Amino acid sequence: MKIGQQLFRTIWPVTDAALPGHYQVAIIDQTALPHAWRILTLNSVQQMVDAIRKMQVRGAPLIGAAAAYGLALASQQSSTDETLQAAASSLLASRPTAVNLRWAVERMMRELLAMPEALRCAHAWLEASRIADEDVRINQSIAQHGLALLQALAAEKPGCLNILTHCNAGWLATVDWGTALAPIYAAFDAGMDIHVWVDETRPRNQGASLTAWELQQHGVPYKVICDNAGGHLMQHGQVDCVIVGADRVSRVGDVCNKIGTYLKALAAADNQVPFYVAVPTPTIDRQLEDAIRDIPIEERPADEVHMMAGLTSAGTVEYVRVTPEGSAAANPAFDVTPARLVTSIITEHGCYAPKDLHDMLQRIDPI
């Protein structure tokens, strides 16, 4: 994406000035946005694990690419089976819900363990970059398939098309372009009259902080709404469709995404508002039997519920407490929207009703 005059991805390798022939990995620190633009350089797999855990990098496709680069960093230290397996285990334990992380680690490990140790490091950097490049191409394709859906909706309804989104599934959540926001960028760039309702997405406020920032950078009209406003707006005809991303989708089309997505899907169904989910195929977990029973839902620290961060008039970011001292809090980070509430799943191969997803998966080779 273009920030100022420069094009950025969310993650990229850089040559290590101190160690010729070695690389570091640069990331945009998403915990600093929207108030500060900070690029971090990571030197080890442990630093990558910490960045994923702290959500300096986040979003299902991006943590997949980050895990791949994490293994490349590990292989630079040592490429033995033991080192790579230990690195893979700590990456897998960093965040449990988004299946892209497991997908990327398994893909990297399959390739690396099959080759002689001396070749592994160079191949790890190559394969991690391939995963990143593929993500960009996939999202460009999702943009075009999603654009066709939006154009079809706009053809039935003159005037501005109002789209609601939850969390952040934009370019910051991927290597570039985004999933749910990719069709929105494509529609805006094609000159369509659109407006986006941005759910704030407590407790981490990815909508208020990241989606709002992204849309503002791109010039897309939007309004931030509190998480509870969507149902009311739908009842009053102010939402023409919902588009969200996903962290894991079952082959029958059940969708695990940021906590609160399920409630939006229920409200959308009750108001006959189309509910679209933009999903790169690495987000589809072909092994999954029962999404509600089997997807590990990350439980994040209670302090994310107790505390809110904000910019002070002095320009510093501070945390304030919003619950009484001594309150308990629970913080499940994701929920599952059953396939019956999903209108269409937008993939890089086209748009599918959940019931047709399985057939599509039979026809394509897993990447």
Residue numbers annotated as active site: 247
Work out which of 202, 258, 264, 306 binds ligand MRU, going by CB under 6 A.
258
Q: Does 230 bind ligand MRU (CB under 6 A)?
A: no
Q: How many CB atoms within 10 Å of residue 126?
A: 11
| Shortest distance in whole angstroms from residue 173 CB to ligand MRU | 3
| Shortest distance in whole angstroms from residue 58 CB to ligand MRU | 4
| Shortest distance in whole angstroms from residue 118 CB to ligand MRU | 36
Query: Would the annotation count 30 as a binding residue?
Result: no
Residue 307: HSE in the Cβ half-sphere, 13 Å Cα cutoff: 11
Q: Which is nearer to ligand MRU, 95 or 123 (CB)?
A: 95
CA distance readout (Å), 127 to 70, 83, 90, 93: 12, 18, 19, 21
Q: Does 59 bind ligand MRU (CB under 6 A)?
A: yes
Work out which of 194, 333, 345, 351 binds ligand MRU, going by CB under 6 A.
333
Burial state string for 246-274 with b = 16 or more CB within 10 A and e = fewer than 16:
bbbbbbebbbbbbbbbbbbbebbbeeebb
Site track for ligand MRU across 175-204, x = CB under 6 A:
----x-------------------------
CA distance readout (Å), 129 to 64, 92, 108, 155, 252: 12, 19, 11, 39, 31
Q: Which is nearer to ligand MRU, 72 or 173 (CB)?
A: 173
Work out which of 56, 75, 94, 206 binds ligand MRU, going by CB under 6 A.
206
Burial state string for 187-201 with b = 16 or more CB within 10 A and e = fewer than 16:
bbeeebebbbbbbbb
Query: Would the annotation count 47 as a binding residue?
Result: no
Q: Does 245 bind ligand MRU (CB under 6 A)?
A: yes
Query: Would the annotation count 54 as a binding residue?
Result: no
Q: Does 49 bind ligand MRU (CB under 6 A)?
A: no
Phi–psi pair at 167, nearest 5 degrees: 65, -155
Name 234's Cβ contacts closer than 8 Å, sequence gap at least 6.
164, 267, 268, 270, 271, 273
Is the previous residue joined to 203 through a cis bond, with omega within 30 degrees of 0? Answer: yes
Instruction: Extract the annotated binding site.
Output: 58-60, 95, 206, 257-258
Residues in contact with ligand MRU by CB under 6 A are 58-61, 98, 167, 169, 173-174, 179, 206, 245-247, 257-258, 333
